[in-house]
Amino acid sequence: MCAVSLTWDDNNSGAAEEDGFKVYRSNLPIDLAALPVPIATLPSGTTTYDDLTPLVGDNYYAVSTYKAGSVRFLVFDLITLGAGVAALAIVNPSAELGATGWTFAGGFETHVGGGGWPPAFVGSYLFAGGSGASGSALQDVLIGASVFAKVDAGTALLDLDWRQRSYSGSDKGDIEIEFFDSGSVSLGAAVGLGLLGAASGSWQLRQHVGLGVPVGARTVRIRIVTQRGSGSYNDAYFDDISGNIF
Ligand SMILES: [Ca+2]
């Protein structure tokens, strides 16, 4: 469930004490000359309201006092929910389906967690660097049409979150992002956070935050990269990869 909590100041007392407050909401800027029907009428002294059924997209709110037929506006606010955000449709984001959705290379694999391996962060399986020195996994994810306008205006951003772990901190990993246009032409070099020997005793949250999405982008390439630092197995582990363009 999604809720919007509104709060405001109550500035009136004494002779000016309001009879109550009204809360208005619209998907368009609120026109004071043509007010919508209030979504709530609240008693005098109220300073909060929780809208439990906000609209998908833009929500314009206005809160007024009312008193003997007069209306005095205190607060205007705009909140946008849902619209303009596209979750990345990553197939098999937490290794539960083997290689489904991914192109594995260099010995990269999935492995069931526990029994000498770290427990999976989500579900039963984790991604692992595998038997090679630098295993990798790659998936191309189409960008949702709901954010094309934002992408092409040059204002879209990408967040990508994942969990990373290692056996002893010596085998390293990263997730790189590269954007492609509708003709599969790369729009710039892949961007990573840097290879990291993640914690061994717990799953570490790593995040690309607010990465700029180039104009014309239609595909996001997600590439898990690893680098073995010691031993014969590449113990760079990954799980629970998710992201949004907004
Ligand atoms: Ca998993």
Query: What is the tens place of the pLDDT at every residue in 147-171?
Result: 898 899 998 999 999 999 999 999 9
The CA–CA distances, whole Å, from 192 to 9, 135, 160, 169, 242 equal 46, 16, 11, 19, 15
92 and 76 in a common domain: no
Global pTM reads 0.70
210 and 148 in a common domain: yes
Count the alpha carbons within 13 Å of 121 in the hemisphere toward its beta carbon.
23
116 and 35 in a common domain: no
Q: How far away, in angstroms, is 112 Cα from ligand 1 center?
A: 8
Quick: pLDDT tens for 63-116: 888 887 666 766 667 776 655 678 899 999 999 999 999 999 999 999 999 998
Distance between first and last Cα of the chain? 20
Q: How far away, in angstroms, is 57 Cα from ligand 1 center?
A: 32
| Domain region containing 160 | 86-245
Residue that is last in its domain, among 47, 81, 115: 81
Q: How far away, in angstroms, is 193 Cα from ligand 1 center?
A: 22
Q: How far away, in angstroms, is 107 Cα from ligand 1 center?
A: 18
Count: domains in the chain:
2
35 and 93 in a common domain: no
Q: How far away, in angstroms, is 213 Cα from ligand 1 center?
A: 28
Measured distance CA(50)–CA(39) in Å, rounded: 11
Given CA atoms 115, 116, 120, 125 in this order, what sign does their dihedral have? negative
Q: How far away, in angstroms, is 203 Cα from ligand 1 center?
A: 12
Which candidate, 72, 59, 62, places its Cα nearest to that of 19? 72
The CA–CA distances, whole Å, from 45 to 23, 125, 182 equal 14, 54, 56
187 and 158 in a common domain: yes
Q: How far away, in angstroms, is 96 Cα from ligand 1 center?
A: 5
At residue 132, what is the residue type? G
